[in-house]
Structure 1
Amino acid sequence: MESTQVRTAAPTPTLSTKPHYAILDGLRGVAALTVVAFHLCESHATSHLDQVINHGYLAVDFFFLLSGFVIGYAYDDRWSRLTLKEFFRIRLIRLQPMVVLGMIIGALCFYFQASPVWPGIAAVPVWKTLLVMLVGFTLLPLPVSMDIRGWHEMHPLNGPGWSLFYEYVANLLYALGVRKFSNTALGILVALAAAALIHLAVTSPAGDVIGGWSLDPEQLRVGFSRVMYPFFAGLLLSRVAPLARLKSAFLLCSLLLLLVLAFPRVGGPEHLWLNGLYDSLSIVVLFPLIVWLGASGQIAGEKSSRLCKFLGDISYPIYMTHFPLIYIYTGWVGTHKPTLAQAVPVALLTFGAAVVLAYVSLKFYDEPVRRWLKKRLA
């Protein structure tokens, strides 16, 4: 979810002159597009076991690891001249505009989502929808009593807001203390977080790490477990991993990432813990490997560079604006009950609309607003 930087030379002390990791930008876009496809297929699933693109939910954990890596690379060497206020201002300018737009789009789409999937949705008063939207602007989690959809989401107008809430929590922890950790201390934190994540995945009643979007003790545990290891493992990786020079890294890393996210369910209903082991292996081992390979890679040519830039540019907007369209698609599926094969034309239309909406949001809202905020708050 975080903008990465393209590595073409040795790092220099200032953020503006640091080279970019273009391949990581591209991978973030690949993961974001996979999330859209995963959510479309999810509308047709009867359980976690028969979900197509079965492990697409792990893209969130990949985003967290990418964010930790980029935060470490961008800010670790700047704290001698960077204040907490400046750090938080930069992060808010980068993330908050799309949070606001995502909630507005969710509110505008809310009454077009009427379906048996959400009984009583039409009876929700407008004032309550607006209140949920305004609280959503802040990313403060809403209690279950304010859930106007029935999915127990802390942000029922735009479900993915839950992961941005934890992104902010990780940023706070980094800025307020973890940035000062030695590599040894950070390694201990990462090891403990990995143990907590593995325990969650293996002992989960569903045999996976899905969850984190509700404001209750069980779901809060899931959310914190999912962010603590990958974010701070990414931070540690940015500090200690020596980079190699790899060719065709974008293609290789994209294929590896898609393989991890699309891999079929492991273990079946008889051995749910095996899928928990797969989730653990993916997050703890494979994702750091993919990020390291991507950071070590070289862009092959101008076309690859433009592709990575495009994917990186739309990755955050598509993540923050696609879910209201998914709500509408899910409502349509709940009303008409098509098979996945019958729904392909509508699913493709929704997928394309999500990409177009993300690009329009980027060019006509996110980039102009961030430029204005940078001038206003400089």
Structure 2
Amino acid sequence: MLVTAVLSAYAFSMDSAEKITRYHALDSWRGICACMVALFHFDVISHLSFLPLTRNAYLFVDFFFVLSGFVIASNYRSRLAEGFGSGRFLLLRLGRIYPLHLVTLLLFIPIDAAKDGVGPNLLQAIVTNVLLLQGLGVNPQNWLNFASWSISAEFAAYVIFASVASRIGPAVWPWLIPIIAGPVVLATVSPDGMNATYDYGLVRCLYGFALGIVCFDLRERFPVLRAPLVPSVETWLEAASFMFVVGYVSVAGNSVTLQVASPLVFTLVVLVFAREAGAVSRRLTMPFMLAIGTLTYSIYMLHPLVRAVVRAILMVVERLWHTELFVSYALSSGHEPTKVISVNGSLWLGDLLQIAMLLLTLLLSVATYRLVEEPGRNWVRRLMDRRKVGTVRSVQPAFDA
């Protein structure tokens, strides 16, 4: 039912929407990354949390940025240079990200009000979130939906991309600036290194986004990167890059240099899986995996809400049953200990809780995809279509004359 519901909505949106180039295997990759980020943020003492891959899963956010730059360049760089219109492009991107952002913002306001009270901080948090400024260094910490910092940073990247593509065209040199400066700033200035969010989140986003644009440019300039290979070689390339990412992210937490270089690794993954020619890509384009990929944005935006609700319920249970369900522990290396969930000290029960939280996130994501994401996106597209028709009609008499 999950797969059917999501893919039917997905098919409808593709039939009624402006045609864009999609990379289905990479969409599934993005869905896997969203699930890993969710497991990282759930903060549960479990076998899953102690896996090095999970402990460093915050790095998978950078895969989103690289893939976003690649896909946006693929679909809009030439069109913006040819007069597609920056305003039209930005409205379409707002229609993609803002409806769900607004819904989760409204849900988090009473949560934060109950936790910290109503005051200047909450007011600032609401204003900055409404204006998509929360990931641009204007706040002293993450407020409300902590995952939305990346949405703020990414929309700022869209603004910069539209300006560069429409005024400078498909030149690559402007994107070399964040690729060179980004790692330096993140390694030397950012207090949390590559795990920058509300403070240096835009630097982090532009670094990965620019790599994605350059990745697309390289693929276009050098046909060898798109040329088909022997199927067994394609499969070997995909399997090797998959295992390389798993191993790389697992050990990257021990080195700032490795953390900062992770977007380069994700760029390699994008180049390999954009080909969609191996057996791993065939597995990634199975219906269930496509559904997970389609739900990526909802998974990413909803998992903090699931985390907050589960923690609130367990706090009530802890008080009523006079049991200890939270302990002070640092699940990520280099971070201060925080209150994390511990289910009777059992790692196995922790695993079950994390899996249940992830499944709940997936189920809620189906609902928000159908009820929020798609309606919001389609409304903006219809608005753009009406404006386009109105413009054509207004200039028609001039042509007739």
Does the alignment reach a TM-score above 0.5?
yes
- Secondary structure of the residue that 1:233 maps to in structure 2? helix
- Secondary structure of the residue that 2:144 maps to in structure 1? coil
- Secondary structure of the residue that 2:42 maps to in structure 1? helix
Q: How big is the shift at 1:38?
A: 1.1
- In the TM superposition, 1:82-161 aligns within 5 A as 82-107=84-109, 109-110=111-112, 121-122=114-115, 124-125=117-118, 132-133=125-126, 135-141=128-134, 152-153=141-142, 156-161=143-148
TM-score, with normalisation over the residues of structure 2? 0.70
Q: How big is the shift at 1:326?
A: 1.9
Code of the residue aligned with 1:83 in structure 2: it is G
Is 2:292 the counterpart of 1:311?
A: yes
- Secondary structure of the residue that 2:84 maps to in structure 1? coil
Give the 3 Å change call, closer, same or farther, for CA 135–145 of structure 1 in structure 2: closer
Give the 3 Å change call, closer, same or farther, for CA 20–260 of structure 1 in structure 2: same
User: Could you list the per-position Cα deviations for residues 295-347 of structure 1 after superposition, in whole angstroms to 9, with x for gaps in the alignment?
Assistant: 11237659834234212210011111111222344564895332461433322
Counterpart in the other structure of 1:169: 156
Counterpart in the other structure of 1:199: 184
Give the 3 Å change call, closer, same or farther, for CA 19–88 of structure 1 in structure 2: closer
Counterpart in the other structure of 2:261: 281
Contact 1:25 1:309 in 2 (8 A): yes
Q: How big is the shift at 1:25?
A: 0.7
Contact 2:66 2:211 in 1 (8 A): yes
Is 2:258 the counterpart of 1:265?
A: no
Counterpart in the other structure of 2:195: 210
Q: How big is the shift at 1:262?
A: 3.7
Q: How big is the shift at 1:174?
A: 0.8
Q: How big is the shift at 1:70?
A: 0.7
User: Could you list the per-position Cα deviations for residues 28-83 of structure 1 after superposition, in whole angstroms to 9, with x for gaps in the alignment?
Assistant: 11110110011124x559xx999761221111211111111011000112122411
Give the 3 Å change call, closer, same or farther, for CA 204–29 of structure 1 in structure 2: same
Is 2:329 the counterpart of 1:346?
A: no
User: Could you list the per-position Cα deviations for residues 256-289 of structure 1 after superposition, in whole angstroms to 9, with x for gaps in the alignment?
Assistant: 44444444632xxxxxxxx111112322x21110
Give me the identity figure in percent.
20
User: Could you list the per-position Cα deviations for residues 65-118 of structure 1 after superposition, in whole angstroms to 9, with x for gaps in the alignment?
Assistant: 11110110001121224112211111111111111122123235447xxxxxxx
Give the 3 Å change call, closer, same or farther, for CA 309–51 of structure 1 in structure 2: closer
Code of the residue aligned with 2:302 in structure 1: it is T
- Secondary structure of the residue that 1:125 maps to in structure 2? coil
Is 2:228 the counterpart of 1:245?
A: yes
Q: Distance in 1 between matches of 2:187 and 2:135?
A: 29
- Secondary structure of the residue that 1:141 maps to in structure 2? coil
Counterpart in the other structure of 1:365: 372
Q: Distance in 1 between matches of 2:208 and 2:87?
A: 25
Give the 3 Å change call, closer, same or farther, for CA 260–359 of structure 1 in structure 2: farther
Counterpart in the other structure of 1:62: 63
Counterpart in the other structure of 1:28: 30
Q: How big is the shift at 1:368?
A: 2.3
Q: Distance in 2 between matches of 1:49 and 1:343?
A: 11
Contact 2:100 2:298 in 1 (8 A): yes
Q: 1:323 is matched with which residue: 304, 317, 340?
A: 304
Give the 3 Å change call, closer, same or farther, for CA 53–128 of structure 1 in structure 2: closer
Contact 1:52 1:262 in 2 (8 A): yes
Q: Distance in 2 between matches of 1:303 and 1:233?
A: 23
Give the 3 Å change call, closer, same or farther, for CA 109–250 of structure 1 in structure 2: farther
Contact 1:23 1:299 in 2 (8 A): no
Q: Which has the larger radius of gyration?
A: 2
Code of the residue aligned with 1:26 in structure 2: it is S
Q: How big is the shift at 1:235?
A: 0.8
Give the 3 Å change call, closer, same or farther, for CA 49–363 of structure 1 in structure 2: closer
User: Could you list the per-position Cα deviations for residues 165-218 of structure 1 after superposition, in whole angstroms to 9, with x for gaps in the alignment?
Assistant: 1101111111112554466x634x4444333333244436877411221xxxxx
More helix by share: 2
Code of the residue aligned with 1:295 in structure 2: it is A
Q: How big is the shift at 1:26?
A: 0.8
Q: Distance in 2 between matches of 1:226 and 1:139?
A: 16
For structure 1, which runs of at least 5 residues remain unmatched after alignment?
1-14, 112-120, 214-218, 267-274
TM-align CA RMSD? 3.6
Counterpart in the other structure of 1:117: none
Counterpart in the other structure of 2:172: 186
Give the 3 Å change call, closer, same or farther, for CA 194–371 of structure 1 in structure 2: closer
Aligned residues: 328
